Amino acid sequence: MSPIIRSGYAPRRGPERARAYGYNRRHWQHTRLARLELDNHQCQLRYPGCTHTATTVDLDHELNGNHDQATLENTRSACRHCHATKDGQGRRPRYA
């Protein structure tokens, strides 16, 4: 599977990012809501500091951010704290 961003540039915020990763597409919105409802809006990651109330959905990293391929099997409900903790572990350090 090829990465969704072929140029190597991924917008950090705004409508360009939503369009590039498929956040605003009907498929993702439907999958996201179904996942949250299936998990009764409870965080499935449960890292230290978890708030227990899921407001976001974590996508399997093997999909390279391609929300068009999201299914109930490759997503998990997460609170913002745990989602940020998990995604932060895989980020590269910034260089000055």
- Residue pLDDT, tens place only, 61-89: 898 888 999 999 999 999 999 999 998 86
3-class DSSP assignment, residue 40:
coil
3-class DSSP assignment, residue 69:
helix
pLDDT, residue 66, reads 87
| pLDDT at 7 > cutoff 60 | no
Which tokens hold the place of 47? Answer: 């890292």
pLDDT, residue 25, reads 87
Q: Are 23 and 65 a contacting pair, CB within 8 Å?
A: no
The number of beta carbons lying within 10 Å of the beta carbon of residue 1 is 8
pLDDT, residue 17, reads 67
User: Does this model's pTM top 0.75?
Assistant: no
pLDDT, residue 10, reads 56
Q: What is the mean pLDDT of the chain?
A: 82
pLDDT, residue 35, reads 98
pLDDT, residue 13, reads 64
